[in-house]
Structure 1
Amino acid sequence: MSDASRLICFNKPYGVLSQFTPEGRWRGLKDFIDVPGVYVAGRLDADSEGLLLLTNDGQLQARISDPRHKMEKTYWVQVEGEPDDAALAALCAGVTLNDGPTRPARAQRIPVPAQLWERDPPVRFRQSIPTSWLELVIREGRNRQVRRMTAAVGFPTLRLIRAAIGPYALEGLAPGNWRG
């Protein structure tokens, strides 16, 4: 194998951990990626989907995952309810969570993402409560931060998909597939 730096973009499905080894009911990355010497750069919860980056380059891994570098992370968030302008303004200003205030974010309502795939299992559906989609861009990565932010403004997250990390994006990558 060459010493060349390698970066893998992986569309992590729901129910897969950000590690190679499975645990309990969750699958591991080894079910999808058989590339020696690469490591996850930043985490994504098992119940979240979307872009996960892996690399064999320690400096690149630090640049991607270290909050000091403030690399933007873009999420598509399906929430329960229909956030109003006040909720979006609160997200943009930064909300206070139990571990302190978040940095200001960019938040906007979006239509259902065009390239969206079905989730297995499907998101719970309640006929009496509408859902809507937001695009949320943050520059930090606290534990379950996006979910806690939307809950703090009164709109719980039902589905969370990371669409991009800095210049790296899903760009039509199907769940369970990778490129790089």
Structure 2
Amino acid sequence: MAQKVQKTQAARNTTTLNRTHLISLAIYLLFLLTSTFLFTRNLLPFILLNLPALAIEVWFERIGRPTYTPPSPSTSTSTSGGRDLRKAGEPLDAKGLTEWMWDIVYWSWGNTVLVAIAGNWAWWLYAVVPLYSAWLGWSTYAGVRQGFSGVSAGAGGAGTGDGGGVGGQSKRQAKMERKGGQRVQYR
């Protein structure tokens, strides 16, 4: 059963890697042909801004390509050609860092096609990624800071509080005091 899962993973990785390399080749050829014959495009930004995507493709090839044992002469008549799966490769559809690296590859492809069609000004779209990252970092920092202000209010600090009650009380405590229930003494 485990061998079937590994063979499925190996087939999926092989298909994904072959498709990725063909798409990259087509996009890069489109850019080079349009920059050579139709329009004037800068090659330096093309090279510099596609290096991360190319490095990621090489990395995916290295970790994702399945490896097989060399064919043995005695089993050349079997259906697998005498090759047994040695390693299926890492899953290329994993969450986290792998997913982020696919985003970089896709963004590079999109920008390259846009530059080939629209012009050199489209290289500036690469600035969207660091700007979005900065905005995401700032919003995370602001949310954590706001969360810690509620913690300091509970410790006697002058935070904003969380319930909108009177004098740092929660709504429940204020309602109980209005009804004449338990009175909470604060020291």
Task: Give the TM-score range, shorter chain.
Answer: under 0.3
Larger RCO (alpha carbons 8 Å, 6+ apart): 1
Structure with greater helix share of residues? 2
Q: Which structure shows the bigger proportion of residues in strand conformation?
A: 1
